[in-house]
Structure 1
């Protein structure tokens, strides 16, 4: 779920922004939760700092302004996309030191808001961690793809080995939807190339585990492993 925050000390401006962005989230099918704050102090004292993904932040607020609020937020949250709101274009350049993505000028232009919103969603899609969902009888477990070393199959039982431990679930290797860094090396194994340390004639080392390589998959493995080494 996308955590969206609007922080502006002018209630009417908050409502005007929300009236424009909420229909677009709904049109795009984005699963989101939206929170409002009337000051930088209120935002900083909330439990949203570490989880906020997208922040619309007014610069000219009483007491604690938007720039200082953003500096405090960045101490605990580096991934949030910040969009500054301002009535004065002169303030925009201050956003660089807190890695602000863009800005909106008051009074709002619907076209500009939607343009900036789409850029923010693209940036979040590019930078947000991706996850693999494991379905078990006890419930669902979400594992970050970057932490997965390899998958192992024993008939219908699959085991995913991660840097944090392992999880077993039912499925088929051929039915897993995975990014390009995951490669089939054997009827029983799919590896994350980012964890492959060494490739030999009939096996490879993946996160210190020695896994077999089938002749069928060896040529493809060597090509992709070389690309990984070259960056």
Structure 2
């Protein structure tokens, strides 16, 4: 499902943008989850535990500007589409570092927003999100690939670390770890740098010789024999994201 975050400290602007997006989604029969944030701190808190495909951000806001907010989003995700909404076109150069999709000038015109939504949706694979259903002590749980930071095979079970730090541990695997993680590896964000680990490359803070350091504070080792191949795969992933 498409997930959209709108952040603007002006209530009327926030309401208007939300109204236009609702109209667009209805006209195109698109299912989506929209969340409105009237303060950047609210969105900063939200992205600690969830991700969005599309962010519409006012640039001039109290305490944390839309530019700073965009930098925080980029540290978490290189895939997300960021659209800035502003009264000041001069901010365009300052925003270059977060590679925004486009800018909208206030007051926002409906057709301009509709055209931008069409462009944004053409770049989002929201209908193709891979999910894995795992057996846990309490029953079954379905995890979307975007929720997962990494997964470790330990004591014949898989332990998932999710965005935000929550850990989900499966019961004993009957298919082996390689078979268990096969669906995740069909997602270009995922890589297995070690026989007992798979990680989401969009969650990497740093790659060192010994392994990957993740944004959630975790560490995933790299097999010494695979280091060159793993490093190249990670660099290719980063380059592919920056070219979008």
Q: 1:162 to 1:112 in 2, by over 3 A?
A: farther
Match of 2:68 in 1: 68
State the 1:49 CA deviation. 6.2
Task: Report if the CA contact (8 A) 1:56-1:84 is conserved.
Answer: yes
Listed one character per residue, the Cα deviations across residues 77-113 of structure 1 (whole Å, up to 9, x for unaligned) are 2221100010011112222210110111001111111
Q: Using the alignment, how far apart are the partners of 1:43 and 1:124 within structure 2? A: 20
Q: Using the alignment, how far apart are the partners of 2:48 and 2:26 within structure 1? A: 22
Residue 130 (structure 1) aligned to one of 128, 138, 151: 128
Task: Report if the CA contact (8 A) 2:37-2:43 is conserved.
Answer: yes
State the 1:131 CA deviation. 4.9
Gaps spanning 5+ residues in structure 2: where? 134-138, 146-174, 182-244
1:99-138 counterparts in 2 under 5 A?
99-125=99-125, 130-131=128-129
Q: 1:90 to 1:81 in 2, by over 3 A?
A: same
More relative contact order, 1 or 2 (CA 8 Å, 6+ apart): 2
Give the SS at the match of 2:30. coil
1:35-114 counterparts in 2 under 5 A?
35-47=35-47, 50-114=50-114
Task: Report if the CA contact (8 A) 1:131-1:142 is conserved.
Answer: no
Question: Which runs of structure 1 show a deviation greater than 6 angstroms over 4 or more consecutive aligned residues?
Answer: 132-135, 138-144
Structure exhibiting the larger radius of gyration computed from Cα positions = 1
Match of 1:179 in 2: none
1:161-176 counterparts in 2 under 5 A?
164-165=178-179
Q: Using the alignment, how far apart are the partners of 1:112 and 1:10 within structure 2? A: 20
Q: CA RMSD in A?
A: 3.1
State the 1:24 CA deviation. 0.8
Q: 1:134 to 1:87 in 2, by over 3 A?
A: closer
Output the TM-score relative to the length of structure 1: 0.56
Give the SS at the match of 1:57. strand
Q: Using the alignment, how far apart are the partners of 2:55 and 2:177 within structure 1? A: 32
Deviation larger for 5-14 or 43-52: 43-52
State the 1:21 CA deviation. 1.0
Q: 1:163 to 1:44 in 2, by over 3 A?
A: same
Q: Using the alignment, how far apart are the partners of 2:46 and 2:131 within structure 1? A: 29
Task: Report if the CA contact (8 A) 2:58-2:85 is conserved.
Answer: yes
Output the TM-score relative to the length of structure 2: 0.53
Q: 1:140 to 1:29 in 2, by over 3 A?
A: farther
Give the SS at the match of 1:35. strand
Match of 2:192 in 1: none
